[in-house]
Amino acid sequence: MRHAPKRGVDATLRNAVEPILSAVRAHRFGHGEGGSAPSDGEAEADVLAAVEREAAAVHKRLARDGGVFAAEFLGATGSGKTALVEALLDRRPDGERAAVIAGDVAGDDDATRYRSHGVPVVDVTTGTDCHLDPARVGRAIDELDLGGLDRLFVENVGNMVCPADFPLGASLRVVVVSVTEGDDVVRKHPLVFQACDLVVINKTDIAGAVGADVARMREDARAIAPETPVVATSAETGAGIDRLRRLLDRGPESHGDGYDHDHDHGSGANRADERRR
């Protein structure tokens, strides 16, 4: 065994604990600081760190090995993720080879919509799970010819809570909210905004009709996720879509606590950018 506590800390802890707990022994798990992998044969003791490591492995396959820039779209059901990705597919530059992984709890409605744009689509239904995970995305990209792709869109299951804790390995995480969810939707879901690299406020063409204050949504996003770009769009009218496309081209600007920042420094995404130029 090569547990971290064996390197000195364990003895201190044992001295502190064992006189009190004479009938038991305590084993304390080491901290995997700096994203280091766990020791041989030891299961990862931090569940979320393990997910981040799995996502980093997917990221490496996509960005470094495959030269594919992947953007994940997450947000509530009905926020307009599919319509936005369709709008981006319609505006993709000549020669750009794109594919989509469509995640849903059930059904192939989104996959069918994407296929009508003439791109390869992998439909992933989770059955019961409320979010995609790196393992599912890894299996989905097995079905794609990464060498023949420049860009991959990954649409997560409609949900504003659980996906925040489960990065998938995309170069960029994009959270989509729509004005129809109420202009307090951003402050109700702070952690998902902090986990993402880009915020899209969609359906702005009907903000007046539903009484939503887009400026307030922007301010909330800025307060909750400093330095994260915010773009207002309407997939219906096309407003803001070109700006969204440019932001996707630029890649991640800042990561507060994403795996790119802590474990990968976005190098995979940068390399994908270079390949496209």
Partner 1 sequence: MHELTAANRLLEAALEAASERNAGRIDRLTVELGTATHLTADQLRFCLDAITEGTAAAEATVEFDRVEPAGACECGWSGPTEPIDGVVPDAPSLRCPDCGRRLSLRAGRECRLSAIEIPERTETEQ
Contact set with partner 1 (CB under 8 A): 1, 21-29, 31, 41-50, 128-131, 133, 161-162, 164-165, 187, 190-191, 194, 220, 223-227, 254-257, 261-262
In angstroms, what CA-CA distances link 246 with 61, 179, 197, 240?
Answer: 24, 22, 14, 10
Distance CA 106, CA 114 (A): 16
Report the SS3 class of residue 172. Answer: strand
Distance CA 247, CA 231 (A): 9
Taking the complex as a whole, how short is the minimal distance between the CB of residue 130 and partner 1, in angstroms? Answer: 5
Q: Any residues with CB less than 8 A from the CB of 50 and at least 6 apart, and which?
A: 44
User: From the CB of residue 2, how many other CB atoms can be counted at a distance below 10 Å?
Assistant: 11
DSSP 169: S
